[in-house]
Amino acid sequence: MFCDWVERKIEARMQNRMGPTFTGPGGILQPFADVVKLLTKEDIVPGGAKKTIFRIAPIISFSIIVFAISFLPIDGAAIIPNSSFAGDLIFIMALITIANFFLFLSGWASANPYSDIGASRLLTQFLGYDIPLVILALAPAFLAGSLTIASIAASQYLPFIILAPWAFVLFIVTLQAELEKDPFDIPHAESEVVGGLETEFCGGKLAFLRLTRDMQIVFGAALVVELFLGGPYGPVFFGFPAFWYFLWFVLKLLAVVVVTEYLTCLFARLRIDQVLTANWKVLLPLSVLSLTLTVAVATWVYPLVM
Amino acid sequence: MSQKETDILSVLQAKFKDTSVQVQPQQLGKVAVIADATTYRDVLKALLEADEKTAVIAITGIDLGATLGVFYHIRTSTAGIITIKVEVPQEEPRLKTISDLMPGAAFDEMEVTDLVGVVFEGHPSPGRLVLPDNWPDGVFPLRKDAKLDNLQFKPTPPSEPASPGNEDIVKIIIGPQHPALLEPEKFALKVEGEIVKDVQPRIGYVHRGIEKAAESRTYLQDVYLVERICGICNACHATCFVEAVEKILETEVPPRAKYIRTILLELNRLHSHLLTLGHAGLEIGFETLFQYFWRDREPIMDITEIISGNRVISSGMTVGGVRRDINEADIPKIKGMLTSLRKRLPFYKKVYEDEPSIKMRMKNVGTLKREDALKLCIVGPTARGSAVDIDVRKDEPYEAYGEIPFKLITYNEGDTWARMNVRMDEVEESINIIEYALDNLPTGPFRVRVPRVVPAGETVNRVEAPRGELFYYLKSNGTAYPERVKVRTPTFANIPAFLATAIGSNIADVPPNFVSLDPCFSCTDR
Amino acid sequence: MSKLAMWARLKSPWVLHFNSGACNGCDIEVVALLTPRFDVERFGIKLEPSPRHADVLLVTGSVTQQCAERLKRIYDQMPEPKFVVAIGACACSGGVFKGNYNVLNGVDKVIPVNAYIPGCPPKPEAIIDGVVKLLNSLKPEKPAKKEKKK
């Protein structure tokens, strides 16, 4: 929710406005107010919707993402201690895919043509961009020699953004698509499909859908932090290391959120066929290239340099 | 008359010398032609042969007592407006359609059918245009004997099912409430996958019966009424109307009033173009562009407020001049605001020309070729984006436009990108015009007194609204109330362009295409 | 808990804009509210695309026959608690089109209205003033009757 506030403020400032200001100091409680208000509204389920899926899909997708985030080390150790295991990078990426699939289901269950279009666009875009995302994520995995997030984060004596900058840049671009932000925000393009898959939802379920989207942003940014920016590790000055690790993590997270939001404000929205072209013809080859390059550089160049 | 006009006149006179067709020079535009139900199509064909840029501007339906008049207002590039007057008896109001000769006339005919009751045989898609679905049959509002109190409305017909028959074709309805549209209209798109196969428009949601209402208000009250046909181009409606009244009265408006009117008209054009340019940003998902444009649009609203007292609906025009004078002390402030706006223009121009995501969304989207633009009778920046160089300010200068130098902007590409760039360039031209007018403002009175009762007569008039050519037909009957006011707005003429270019495109291309023709449905429905 | 709910409702009113047959003057002033000079996002007001997401319905226009049924349907689709604001002289009473054959003379002939903002068109400052007055009238300290605020 805090990230939602950060995003809205950045978007507003880029557009020469102020953004939420009066709800709490500096508008910081705005997303909180949004969620509470949504939870207290009347709940309407459209007559033609598939009721069970309509009711539970938003909650399930939200829970899955929260579950996935819990695997990311935040303060030197994962939230659920000792929960990291070998290969958990792939595991949480699979979890995110499942969560998005539940988002698609909620749109599909809405019995509204706008929701259908929005949901199918979401799935097309997400599944398409998932592949380059995984390939790009393999670059830091290779550099660290492991598929466990905790060890990837820990083995960054030099943050991987410096060692593999090409992977970082491409990862950020792919992340924009995964998070449905401009220029890739076609699944919830207001001017075409009204609310996209969210059109028929109101009240509490809408709150969960919105929260899911916010959590995805947090998750994406956190992943970038873990994979490229050295995780929560940073200089410890005094007191508990756990506190400092947490602080560094939050700061790096916010930096990534700022960057992605900045990109959002700069671009218009691409059409779905342009999005797909960008994926299959541009990003996929580039991500394979980046992996090859990382392998090549790591095997031959870096041992010479270090 | 110029040489070319005389040619048209002599062509018509020669061709129809021995028929019942009467050619009357200097009536209702440049020439009025009195024809009947058998000969009017021949006259139209003769005009089409003589000039490729012939287009139907409007078709006025009017109740003349025993007969119903159907007046075809034709625009030629050389001879201004030629009106073909046809009358049909009230008991048997039928005429053959002209939409085979001029496809752009289809909408006009549907409106005449709705409001006056003339049936056009052979019309490609008859149906309700401006009146609601539950309007009772047989009641035609513009007839003098129409009983409009205590109407018995029919029950609303049920809407069609979502997926008619073919499973692959999904019907998507845009509107009446839709974030892309500021106004309520319904467009039913039939799409297959992401490609649009068919577009069925249903307009009439904003029909307020203005033409009928104008007949029961005095001329001065009507100025306020026609202003509110459209809040965005309000000054143009007011100007067109008062100019028409002044033509019948043969009043000469003082030069200072002409310049002030020109300034208000160009301010209208400026704020409307900036509005569209920003709105286009919203449609393609570029919110930042929208916010920036509207931020820079605010000074224009301030200037309008300084000159006329209101931000949007300026109410500056009146019959015989303008209502308020410009205060000389305000002029430096106004010029200062215009200068700061002018400084921002190169940045915006570069955005529209070079920005890659805009080019991806707008280039080759909604391309309208020049021949199609001519055939469909398209006007305004939409036409100028397809290399059709029509602009009433140049073709038939009114107010002070004859004395102020400015450029006519056309682009050749014919796509959405070209149309938006036409508007972008016209913004700069408008600033030039306003500054010139402010610098050369003549001294003298700003209005003259006019009589309240207008002698009987009829006239046509047109101005260049931000969206294109705005046309009025006015008939007076010697009282203080007009007999008939007919309005043909530019968006009414441009909707066929949207329908033609939307078919075969992506769904995602529909909003930018739509915005590029700058639709204003309150103008269209009146 | 209800105090928290009330606070949230006041701080996060999401609006839906509907034009029921207006000349666009009021509509462009409503859209202008989102732009940098007026920026109602400061108050937490967001423009929502779908009736199901909105709390406040801003209606402009004098309600033509064709729009009347759609307006009612949109109102029904909005979840409680919901409020309606009639913006402009036309929405309040029909404005300059009062008495025309296709016009219903005001929004309150179709749905209940909580606040009327007159003007032709009302300046954006007037619209903000009206919305703020509406929100203030909901606070429990003041007597909780829904009065017409002119």
ipTM, 2 decimals? 0.82
Q: Which of A192, A194, A265 to mutate to test the interface with B (most CBs of B within 10 A)?
A: A192
Give the strand order in the sheet containing B468-476.
Answer: B457-465, B468-476, B482-488
Q: Which chain A residues are Cβ-neighbours of B289 within 8 angstroms?
A: 268
Q: Which chain B residues are Cβ-neighbours of A182 within 8 angstroms?
A: 285-286
- Highest mean pLDDT among A244-253, B140-149, B176-185 belongs to B140-149
Same domain, B327 and B465: yes
> Could you tell me the pLDDT band of residue C147, with boundaries at 50, 70 and 90?
very low
Higher pLDDT, A224 or B489: B489
Shortest distance between the Cα of C35 and any Cα of chain A, in A, equals 7
pLDDT in tens, A131-180: 777 777 777 777 766 666 666 666 666 666 666 677 777 777 777 777 76
CA distance B315 to B57: 27
> Could you tell me the pLDDT band of residue C150, with boundaries at 50, 70 and 90?
very low
Same domain, B111 and B222: no
CA distance C35 to C29: 10
* Structural domain includes residue B138: no
Which among A11, A113, A183 has CB closest to B357?
A183
- Mean of the pLDDT values across residues A105-122? 73
Q: Which of B114, B174, B183, B208 to mutate to test the interface with C (most CBs of C within 10 A)?
A: B208
Q: Mean pLDDT lowest for which of A104-113, B52-61, B327-336?
A: A104-113
Same domain, B111 and B246: no
Q: Mean pLDDT lowest for which of A191-195, B375-379, B441-445?
A: A191-195
Q: Using a CB–CB cutoff of 8 Å, tell me whether B282 touches chain A.
A: yes
How many structural domains is chain B composed of?
A: 2
CATH numbers and ranges of domains, chain C: 16-138 (3.40.50.12280)
φ, ψ for residue C61, nearest 5 deg:
95, 160
Burial class of residue B54, CB neighbours in 10 A (0-12, 13-18, 19+): buried
Contact (CB<8Å) B180/A271: no
pLDDT given at position A42: 63
- Mean of the pLDDT values across residues B287-314? 85
Burial class of residue B131, CB neighbours in 10 A (0-12, 13-18, 19+): buried
pLDDT given at position C144: 40
Please give the share of chain A, as a percent, with pLDDT higher than 90. 0
Same domain, B492 and B386: yes
Q: Which chain A residues are Cβ-neighbours of C50 within 8 angstroms?
A: 194-195, 198-200
Residue A306 in this model has a pLDDT that exceeds 50: yes
* Structural domain includes residue B190: no
Contact residues, B window 326-385, toward A, CB-based 8 Å cutoff: 355, 357-358, 360-361
- CATH number, domain of B309, equals 1.10.645.10
> Could you tell me the pLDDT band of residue C146, with boundaries at 50, 70 and 90?
very low
> Is the Cβ–Cβ distance between B385 and B419 less than 8 Å?
yes
φ, ψ for residue C87, nearest 5 deg:
-110, 125
* Structural domain includes residue B158: no
- Highest mean pLDDT among B92-96, B174-178, B428-432, C44-48 belongs to B428-432
Q: Which chain B residues are Cβ-neighbours of C26 within 8 angstroms?
A: 231
Q: Which chain A residues are Cβ-neighbours of B283 within 8 angstroms?
A: 191
Q: Which of B86, B121, B156 is the last residue of a domain?
A: B121
Q: Which of B288, B361, B417, B515 to mutate to test the interface with A (most CBs of A within 10 A)?
A: B288
pLDDT given at position A146: 66
Contact (CB<8Å) B357/A268: yes
Tally A–C CB contacts below 8 A: 93
Q: Searching chain A, which residue's CA lies closest to the CA of residue B171?
A: A113
Contact (CB<8Å) A206/C36: no
Same domain, B304 and B453: yes
> Is the Cβ–Cβ distance between A166 and A174 less than 8 Å?
no
Q: Which chain A residues are Cβ-neighbours of C11 within 8 angstroms?
A: 22-23, 29-30, 33, 37
* Structural domain includes residue B459: yes
Q: Which chain B residues are Cβ-neighbours of A269 within 8 angstroms?
A: 284-286, 357, 361
Contact (CB<8Å) C39/A29: no
CA distance A65 to A96: 6
> Is the Cβ–Cβ distance between A152 and A226 less than 8 Å?
yes
pLDDT given at position A76: 47
CA distance B259 to B404: 10
pLDDT given at position A244: 66
pLDDT given at position A78: 46
Q: Which H or E run includes B103?
A: none
> Could you tell me the pLDDT band of residue C145, with boundaries at 50, 70 and 90?
very low
Q: Using a CB–CB cutoff of 8 Å, tell me whether C44 touches chain A.
A: yes
Higher pLDDT, A100 or A199: A100
pLDDT given at position B156: 65
> Is the Cβ–Cβ distance between A197 and A122 less than 8 Å?
yes
Q: Which of B121, B155, B186 is the last residue of a domain?
A: B121
3-state SS class at C103: strand
Q: Which chain B residues are Cβ-neighbours of A194 within 8 angstroms?
A: 178-179
CA distance B477 to B453: 9
Q: Burial code of A219-253, b = ≥16 C-beta within 10 A, e = fewer? A: bbbbbbbbbbbbbbbbeeeeeeeeebbeebbeebb
- Highest mean pLDDT among A66-70, A85-89, B251-255, B389-393 belongs to B251-255
Residue A77 in this model has a pLDDT that exceeds 60: no
Catalogue the E-assigned strands of B214-365.
Answer: 317-318, 321-322
Cβ-defined contacts of C128-131 (< 8 Å, 24+): C128/C33, C128/C38, C128/C40, C130/C85, C130/C87, C131/C13, C131/C40, C131/C43, C131/C45, C131/C56, C131/C85
Residue type, C102: N
Q: Which chain B residues are Cβ-neighbours of A272 within 8 angstroms?
A: 194, 506, 508
All chains having 3 or more CB pairs closer than 8 angstroms to chain C = A, B
Q: Burial code of A27-53, b = ≥16 C-beta within 10 A, e = fewer? A: bbbbbbbbbbbbbbbeebbbeebbeeb
- CATH number, domain of B103, equals 3.30.460.80
Q: Searching chain B, which residue's CA lies closest to the CA of residue A185?
A: B285
Q: Which of B69, B102, B121 is the last residue of a domain?
A: B121
pLDDT given at position B186: 76
Same domain, B223 and B115: no
Please give the share of chain B, as a percent, with pLDDT higher than 90. 0
Which among C51, C66, C121 has CB closest to B231?
C121
Same domain, B353 and B496: yes
Residue C40 in this model has a pLDDT that exceeds 70: yes
- Mean of the pLDDT values across residues B61-74? 83
pLDDT given at position B375: 76
pLDDT given at position A17: 60
3-state SS class at B369: coil
Torsion of CA C35, C36, C39, C41, to 10 degrees: 90
CA distance A60 to B520: 44
pLDDT in tens, B3-57: 555 566 677 777 776 666 777 766 666 677 787 777 788 878 877 777 767 778 8
pLDDT given at position A153: 65
CA distance A142 to A228: 12
Q: Searching chain C, which residue's CA lies closest to the CA of residue B272?
A: C28
Q: Using a CB–CB cutoff of 8 Å, tell me whether B172 touches chain A.
A: yes
Contact (CB<8Å) C7/A41: no
CA distance A264 to A12: 12
CA distance A252 to A258: 10
Higher pLDDT, C9 or B263: B263
Mean pLDDT of all residues in chain A?
A: 69
pLDDT in tens, C98-130: 878 878 878 888 888 888 888 888 888 888 888
Q: Where does residue B80 fall: left (phi above 0), alpha (psi -120 to 50 degrees), or beta otherwise?
A: left
Q: A-side interface with C, Cβ within 8 Å?
A: 8, 12, 15-23, 27, 29-30, 32-37, 40-44, 190, 194-195, 198-203, 206
Q: Which tokens is C78 given?
A: 């909005």
Contact (CB<8Å) C67/B176: yes
- Give the residue numbers spanning the domain of B303: 210-525
pLDDT given at position A277: 73
pLDDT in tens, B150-166: 677 776 666 554 444 45
Same domain, B231 and B335: yes
